Amino acid sequence: MKVRALLASAAMVAGGSIAAVGTSAAPASADAPCAPLQVVGAPGTGYELIYSAPTTLPGGGTANLPSGIDFTKPDVLIGQVAAKLQPERDAGRITYQQVPYPADIGITMSYRKSVRLGTKATKAYIAVKARQCPGSRFALIGFSQGARVAGNVLHSIGQGNGPIRPDRLAVGGLWADPGRTQNDQLVGPAVPGKGIDRMRKGGFGAVNSRTFSVCAPGDIYCSADDSTLLRELVRKFGKSALADTSIIRQGLRMIQRNGFDLQKWSRAFGEKNVMTLIPKAIKTGLEIDRFIREGSHGHYLVGNTISVDGQSSIDWMTDRLREAAR
C-alpha cells in the first residue's frame, strides 16, 4: 500500500467529512518508504484552513478570513521540524508524514470528537506502516490539539495497547499538550499546573523517558492553574457541537438560570466550597486575559522565545529525531 492509500485510509477512519473535501487525494510522500525512523506528525487546530487576502470588514478595518481547506497544508510548527529534517529525508534515514484529521474546535464538530478522530486516524496510519516496515522505529510529534492527539497515541503505546510495541517508539515530542501532567517529562521552561484537558490515566508508561513535552509560560492549554475554573470549563463544554461559541452561549444561559445564587454556581462547576468560587472565577478571567494579551500559545514559533538547553524548542526536538535516526 502506497502512502497515498495510507492517507486515504486514515482519512476514512477519521470520518467522511475529511474524505469529502479531498484528503484522499493527498500527495504521496517522496521520502524513502521504509526509512529507519518514521516520523508522524499531528497538526494543530485549524492547520488546514486557507486564508484570503485582507478583506474589508463591515465595521471597518481588514482581516484575513478563511477561504478554503487543504488537509495537506503543513502545520505551522511541526512543518518546521519536517523542513529541518529534509537532509535526513533526502538521505533515506527519515520518513515524515503529517496525518490529516479535522483539527476542529467547533466549526463542524466539537473538540472532543476532532481529537477522537485524529487519534484513531494516527493509530491506523502507524499500524499499517509498522506492518509494511518491520525494521522501522517511530516518532510522534504534535502541536496544541495535535499534541493531544499524538499524546493519546503515545499513551496507548506506553500502556501496551497501541499500534506498535513500546520498543519501536523512538521519540515523542509534544508542544502545548492539553493533556500534560506534572509527571510528564517537561523540557524547557519550568511551568506550573497541568494541561487544560482531562489527564491520561497512567501517563506515558514505558515510553515516558522518550517522550518530551514543551510548554510556554502562560500557555493555559498546557499550564492551567488548579485555582481557576479553566479545566471545569473544558470538561463542561468540550463536547459541544460548537465548542468555541457555545461556551459563551451556555455561560450566558447559566447566568440567566442561576443569577447570583452561589450555591447553583458551585454545583454547575463542581466547586464544593461556595466561598472559593468567586476568587476562582476572578482568577480565571485574569488568566484568560493574560493568555490572549501575551499570545503565549504562539511563542513556540518565535525564534528562541521558548528554548531548551540554549536552542529553540523546535531545533532541540529536531536534534532528538536526528539522533534517533542514526
Do 107 and 254 belong to one domain? no
- Total domains in the fold of the chain: 2
Q: Which is nearest to 82 in space by CA: 297, 306, 317? A: 317
Asked if residue 256 has pLDDT above 60, the reply is no
Residue type, 159: Q
The pLDDT of residue 294 is: 78
**Which distant-in-sequence residues (6+ apart) come within 8 Å of 55 by Cβ?**
62, 63, 64, 65
The pLDDT of residue 50 is: 83
Do 72 and 217 belong to one domain? yes
The pLDDT of residue 282 is: 61
Cα distances (Å, whole numbers) of residue 223 to 82, 278, 305: 26, 21, 17
Give the residue-averaged pLDDT of 243-249.
Answer: 46
Supply the DSSP symbol for 198.
P
216, 314 Cβ separation under 8 angstroms: no
Asked if residue 325 has pLDDT above 80, the reply is yes
Do 114 and 237 belong to one domain? no
What range defines the domain where residue 106 resides? 3-224+298-324
Do 65 and 183 belong to one domain? yes
Q: Whole-structure pTM over 0.85, yes or no?
A: no
Do 163 and 263 belong to one domain? no
Strands (E), 200-292: 211-214
Q: Which ranges constitute the DSSP H helices of 15-167?
A: 16-19, 78-84, 86-90, 111-132, 145-158
Dig out the grid coordinates for 210 from the structure: 522518550
Asked if residue 187 has pLDDT above 50, the reply is yes
The CATH number linked to 309 is 3.40.50.1820
Q: Which is nearest to 165 in space by CA: 141, 136, 142, 143? A: 136
Provide the pLDDT confidence category of residue 34 given band limits of 50, 70 and 90. Answer: very high
CA distance 17 to 108: 9
**Which distant-in-sequence residues (6+ apart) come within 8 Å of 101 by Cβ?**
10, 14, 18, 42, 43, 114, 117, 118, 121, 122, 149
Q: Which is nearest to 79 in space by CA: 101, 96, 66, 57? A: 96
Give the residue-averaged pLDDT of 164-193.
Answer: 96
Do 175 and 264 belong to one domain? no
Provide the pLDDT confidence category of residue 9 given band limits of 50, 70 and 90. Answer: very low
